[in-house]
Amino acid sequence: MPDLFEEEKRRLWERLWEDLEIGYLDEDILPVLIEFFARPKAYTSSSCSGRIVVIDADYPWEKDETMIIFKKHTPITVEEIEKIMRTPHQSTLWLSLQGPIYHVYVKDLDEAKEVLEIARRAGFKHSGILVLGNPILVELRTGIRIVTPLKDRQSTFINEKDLPKLVELYNRALKEAKQKNKRLLEELRKARPNQIWEEAKDKIDAYTH
C-alpha cells in the first residue's frame, strides 16, 4: 500500500519550492520549514513568520466577512498606514499584528510531543494539538498579537500625531516575533534527528548554515 503520509509530505515539499520561486513564500521562515521537513515524521503547511495586516471588517475575528487590504512581513511605515486610512472601505479598518504560526503535520503522538517540547523551549507557549487525526496536526503559536481599530466610515480612532508611536509599537512587536522564529530554528537544529528525510539533505546544507 502507498504511504499516504510520505506522498503528502513530498507534494508539499515540492509546493514549498514552487511558492518560493513565484514569490509567494514568506522567506523568513524557509530555514525553519526545511528543518521540519528534515524530520522523517513531520512536514508543514500554511505557516507564517509574523505579519502586520490591515483588515476591513466589522470585527477582526470574523473570517467569512473579513477582507485583508494590506499585508506585510516586514516593518511598516507611517506613510503606508496614512495611505490606507485614506482608502475607501466598507466597514472598520483594523491594524493587526500576528506573531509566527506554524501548522506541523506529524505521523504519531511521539513526534507531536517532541515538536511541542521544541516549540515551547523556543517560546511558542500557545501551542498544542489542533487535530488528533491521521496525520496529527500540531499548531505552534507564540501569543504575540496586537489589534487596533483605525477608523470606520464615520470616525477616525487614531489621531494623526499618535500614528508614529503606534507604528513604532507594531514594528517592535514584529521584531520580537521574528526573534521567536530564530529561537525556534535554533531549537530545531539542536533536536535534529540522526536520520533525516533523504530529500531534505541538500537543502539543509544550502539554506540552514
At 23 the pLDDT is: 86
Cα gap 149→174, rounded to integer Å: 18
At 60 the pLDDT is: 86
Give CA angle at 61 (71, 82), nearest 5°. Answer: 40
Q: For the chain, what is the domain count?
A: 1
Residue 198 within any structural domain of the chain = no
C-alpha cell at 52: 502586520
Residue 137 within any structural domain of the chain = yes
Residue 200 within any structural domain of the chain = no
Residue 204 within any structural domain of the chain = no
pLDDT digits (tens, 9 = 90+) for 116-159: 999 999 999 999 999 999 999 999 999 999 999 999 989 999 98
Residue 199 within any structural domain of the chain = no
Q: Classify 60 as helix, strand or coil.
A: coil
The ranges of the chain with pLDDT < 50 are 1
Q: At 205, which amino acid appears?
A: D
At 209 the pLDDT is: 57
Residue 206 within any structural domain of the chain = no
Distances from the Cα of 112 to the Cα of 38, 42, 109, 122, 155, angstroms: 15, 9, 5, 15, 47
At 61 the pLDDT is: 84
Residue 147 within any structural domain of the chain = yes
pLDDT digits (tens, 9 = 90+) for 121-130: 999 999 999 9
At 25 the pLDDT is: 86
Instruction: Report the candidate in 29, 45, 25, 44 with the shortest Cα–Cα distance to residue 184.
Output: 29
At 111 the pLDDT is: 98
At 1 the pLDDT is: 44
Residue 98: enclosing H or E segment and its boundaries? strand 92-98
Contacts of residue 128, defined as CB under 8 A and 6 or more positions apart, other chains included, come to: 116, 138, 139
Cα gap 142→113, rounded to integer Å: 17
Distances from the Cα of 66 to the Cα of 54, 90, 93, 146, angstroms: 10, 10, 10, 17
What CATH number is associated with residue 37? 3.30.1960.10
At 64 the pLDDT is: 67
At 53 the pLDDT is: 96
Residue 208 within any structural domain of the chain = no
**Domain housing 101:** 4-192
**Cell 487535530 identifies what position?**
131
Give CA angle at 178 (173, 182), nearest 5°. Answer: 145
